[in-house]
Amino acid sequence: MPHWSSLIREVPDFPKPGIVFKDITPVLADARGFAGAIDAMAAPWRDAVPDAFIGIESRGFIFAAALAQALGTGFVPVRKPGKLPAQVIAHDYALEYGRDRLEMHADALRPGARVVLVDDVLATGGTLRAALSLAQRQGATVTGAAVLVELPALRGRALWDVAAPLHVALQG
């Protein structure tokens, strides 16, 4: 197990009774832990650095921005509704805790741009799938995804219906 994995804290009954939430904030607060997590997430892309890492609001921003800096490439945000100032495209999806919508600036990606999607946790997979759809609608080539923790019991990987690799640093 990587040293940073012991820093992930399980919080019972958050955000609803019965859900055990993986809290990654202690990883971020620990310099060695944060660096180790970014190293692990960056490893698959070092030899094929994408044109951008696409971070999903909000914890995905933290990891995608750090990956972009570590590998010397760009960062593009996928945001909750109403947050992005210019023209957007939107995608509605089912969430572990309800329904939601994600948006991306309509001009964020040029056709053919090679991008990697980034989030902290893969649960039911709807969030990552929504980001995949947004990137594909812009004509980008999604070369993969990078997630810190996968919760395999929730089978989110089943929604990742593309050949590009979905890399997970830790199986939760």
Distances in Å between the Cα of 83 and the Cα atoms of 58, 76, 86, 101, 129 are 12, 14, 9, 12, 20
Binding segment toward ligand 5GP, per CB under 6 A, in 46-54, 121-129, 131-139, 162-170: 121-129
DSSP per residue, 10-30: EEET-SSTT-EEEE-HHHHHS
Residue 120 binds to ligand 5GP (criterion: CB under 6 A):
yes
From 28-36, 81-89, 123-131, 137-145, span contacting ligand 5GP (CB under 6 A): 123-131
Q: How far apart are CA 114 and CA 112, in angstroms?
A: 6
Using CB under 6 A, pick the residue from 36, 50, 144, 156 that binds ligand 5GP. 156
Q: Indicate whether 75 belongs to the interface with ligand 5GP (CB under 6 A).
A: no
Q: How far apart are CA 131 and CA 144, in angstroms?
A: 12
Q: Of these residues, 57, 59, 101, 137, which one is catalytic?
A: 59
CA distance 56 to 102: 9
CB of 127 to ligand 5GP, least distance (A): 3
State the catalytic residues.
59, 96
Applying CB under 6 A, which residues contact ligand 5GP? 21-22, 24, 56, 59, 95-96, 119-127, 156
